[in-house]
Amino acid sequence: MLVKKKGLLVWMILFICSLLLTGCNDAVVIKDLQIDSKFYHQTGYLLGNDRVKLKIELDKELNQDLTYYWKATGGRFLTQGKQEVTYITPKLPGDYSLKLVIKKENQVATTFKFPFVVKGNYPKRVKLNKVVINSLKSGVKLDWSAYKGTDFYSYKILRSNNFYIDDQAQVIANITNQAQDYYTDDNIEPNQVYSYQIMVINHSGYLSASNEEMIRGLPQGVRKQRIKEEISQIVVDDIHLKSYITVRDKRQILVLNNNGKIVKQINLGIYPKEAVLALENKYLFVLSLRGNSIVRIDLESLEKKKYKLNIRMKDITSSGDYLYLLPKSKRKLIRFAIKKGKIKNNFSIKFKGKRIKARRIRVINNEYLIADMVFGPTLFYNLKNLSKPIKKLDIGPIKDIAVSIAGSQYYIYLGSIGNRIIQSYLINSDDKIIEQQGFVVNSYPRDLLIKGNSLFVGYDSKKITIFDLKKDKLSQKIKLNNYIYDLGLSKKSKRLYLITAAIDKTNSYLTIIDLKKFN
């Protein structure tokens, strides 16, 4: 019996030893895979082309030597065969997996699989600001928000000759200085449309693209300059070779020389509404927005004088020795003697025996009056007889008037609101008004100017058209980058001055067109 018990004990000891020899030691149990990546712990993804450390954590430490074989469906291992390795993630975003085989001597290998997702290590986009062109010579100016990342490699500037970045876009500059957040493209053509975009490339080879900005190259002979204030009207003085710009919110007049440089600021003390030259450009008169005062500026000394009015006015025009003022409420015409500095007399303007209420007036050479009625026709009068018009026109409210004088004859051009026709009339010495051939236009005209045989028309848009008055046809079109709000013309220097701005009147510009160079 003892022998049997002793034999059984020996047999059990041998069986246990056999198990130890054949691998029934403690099995390899994997507790966790540690990934040394802050981005992974924040997002659950790995960054592409990123160096990370991987460490397998076992359930408990084993005394036996273990072999580790790491494998992945993308990327590469810089080290191998250890519990902790260094791994370069795949460059391309996508779904991948890790495979780790752990083997103990004389045992079946333990396999561990870990799926993961790679996100591109894209740099943060920069913002391309609105691109600017002031002239062909100065080029297109670009600036953008600087990239703040520590992995910067370069900026690349893309340009397409199109309204958007297309598949023909070219890299026109490669900038490796991270602090440089500006560039000037001086390789541009007149009237050509360009689109721009900024790419940021990091050291991982990833890139991001900014927003796109489009601009049209200015025509030959056109330049513009930014005016910080919101400007509303420009008056060109050919005698003193200066221009005067009203700044309503600052209650100022800006005085510019022939090249468009601001040489003086005059504080008016009133909010300007309308400015007119008078007495052969000796004075500039400015009507206040409220209409209860006018300011006279001596254009030699630039001294000013203010006149208070007992009646509020809504329009002003000048002719010869007089200003003509249109009251807001009373149905009459006021004549102001410039040399004496006071109101001389007033007149009633009548139509069909009744005094009219006009919205705009224009006096021509102290002989004729054009009165645009409120909710009524446009009327022509001889100033000697304001009781009866010599002509009635049903063309809608007048936007602007241009006059050309040839001897005793007057050629009148009218642009009206909501009417895409420039009306033309001839007033002869017998006070007869003869309708002439007008001009059909594609937009609503807002400003009319005449120089010699050319009629310049500005629109509620971004273009100017020039009509040949001898040939009665369109001769040129000028397309600009901003909306046109007022026109001025220097016949002596052959330059066209424009107030241009965005549609909301932000970013005002003085645009100058040299008619001698314009093609």
Number of other residues whose CB lies within 10 A of the CB of residue 141: 17
Question: Is the pLDDT score of 418 beyond 90?
Answer: no
**Sheet with strand 262-267: strands edge to edge:** 231-237, 242-247, 252-256, 262-267
Q: What is the pLDDT of residue 26?
A: 59
Q: What is the pLDDT of residue 504?
A: 72
Q: What is the pLDDT of residue 227?
A: 85
Question: Is the pLDDT score of 259 beyond 70?
Answer: yes
* pLDDT bucket at 71, cuts 50 / 70 / 90: very high
Question: Is the pLDDT score of 435 beyond 60?
Answer: yes
* pLDDT bucket at 373, cuts 50 / 70 / 90: very high
pLDDT digits (tens, 9 = 90+) for 346-362: 999 999 999 999 999 99
Question: Is the pLDDT score of 13 beyond 50?
Answer: no
Three-state SS string across 423-492, please? EEEEECCCCCEEEEEEEECCCCEEEEEEECCEEEEEECCCEEEEEECCCCEEEEEEECCCEEEEEEEECC
pLDDT digits (tens, 9 = 90+) for 476-512: 988 888 889 899 999 888 999 999 887 777 778 899 9
Of 207, 155, 202, 206, the residue nearest 181 (C-alpha)? 155
pLDDT digits (tens, 9 = 90+) for 280-303: 999 999 999 999 999 999 999 999
Buried residues in 285-305 as b, exposed as e (16+ CB within 10 A): bbbbeebebbbbbebeeeebe
Q: What are 345's two structure tokens?
A: 């007399």
Q: What homologous superfamily does CATH list for 132-216?
A: Immunoglobulins (2.60.40.10)
Question: Is the pLDDT score of 7 beyond 50?
Answer: no
Q: What is the pLDDT of residue 9?
A: 41
Question: Is the pLDDT score of 271 beyond 80?
Answer: yes
Q: What is the pLDDT of residue 519?
A: 52
DSSP class of residue 79? S
192 and 216 in contact (C-beta within 8 Å)?
Answer: yes
Averaged pLDDT of the chain: 89
Number of other residues whose CB lies within 10 A of the CB of residue 476: 15
288 and 277 in contact (C-beta within 8 Å)?
Answer: no
Per-residue pLDDT averaged across 122-130, rounded? 94
Q: Which fold is adopted by the domain 25-119?
A: Immunoglobulin-like (2.60.40)
Question: Is the pLDDT score of 16 beyond 60?
Answer: no
Fold equal for 25-119 and 132-216: yes
Contacts of 105 (CB under 8 A, 6+ apart): 64, 65
Question: Is the pLDDT score of 23 beyond 60?
Answer: no
Q: How much is the pTM?
A: 0.73
Domain chopping of the chain, boundaries: 25-119, 132-216
pLDDT digits (tens, 9 = 90+) for 441-482: 988 898 999 988 999 999 888 889 999 999 999 999 888 888
Which class for 88: exposed (0-12), middle (13-18), buried (19 or more C-beta within 10 A)? Answer: middle
Rg over CA atoms, the chain: 41
Q: What is the pLDDT of residue 1?
A: 38
The number of residues making up the chain comes to 519
The share of the chain scoring above pLDDT 90, in percent, equals 66
Number of other residues whose CB lies within 10 A of the CB of residue 401: 19
Q: What is the pLDDT of residue 20?
A: 37
Q: What is the pLDDT of residue 24?
A: 44
pLDDT digits (tens, 9 = 90+) for 319-336: 999 999 999 988 899 999
Angle at 270 between CA 266 and CA 274, to 5 degrees: 85
pLDDT digits (tens, 9 = 90+) for 133-151: 999 999 999 999 999 999 9
Question: Is the pLDDT score of 411 beyond 60?
Answer: yes
Longest dimension (CA), the chain: 157
Q: What is the pLDDT of residue 5?
A: 39
Q: How far apart are CA 437 and CA 413, in angstroms?
A: 10
Tell me the residue type at 517: K
